[in-house]
């Protein structure tokens, strides 16, 4: 391959909060939505990982992160009942539940 044909693709950072970045490649920069199954819900092609909510990231900051992700069109959040490890299993899911309970288009 000739040198001028090579272009390096670097990951881009979508800023959610000053302390948080979502790294994506240039070809996945835009948030797109797809259906889960034939008649499933529409979910974003980017997923927000929540495993640090509660035991590393305080609840208030977790809410801000989820609000900003939703503003950007990200509606696919990864969670599990074991997240919150050393503090309490399921803590992350409880935080997400309280965030949903605020209403305002969060469901």
Residue 83 annotated to the active site = yes
The bridge status of strand 47-49 relative to strand 76-78 is: parallel
Catalytic residue among 83, 95, 96, 99: 83
22 forms beta bridges with: 14
Phi/psi at 57 (5° precision): -100, 120
The Cα-based distances of 35 to 10, 21, 38, 49, 82 in angstroms read: 29, 26, 7, 20, 27
Q: Which residues are catalytic?
A: 83
């Amino acid at each position: 391959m000739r040198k001028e044909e090579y272009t390096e693709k670097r990951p881009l950072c979508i800023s959610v909060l000053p302390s948080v970045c979502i790294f994506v490649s240039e070809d996945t920069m835009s948030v797109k939505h797809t259906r889960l199954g034939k008649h499933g819900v529409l979910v974003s092609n980017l997923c927000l990982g929540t495993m640090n909510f509660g035991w590393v990231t305080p609840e208030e900051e977790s809410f801000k992160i989820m609000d900003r992700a939703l503003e950007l069109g990200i509606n696919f959040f990864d969670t599990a009942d074991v997240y919150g490890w050393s503090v309490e299993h399921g803590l992350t899911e409880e935080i997400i539940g309280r965030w949903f309970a605020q209403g305002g288009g969060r469901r």
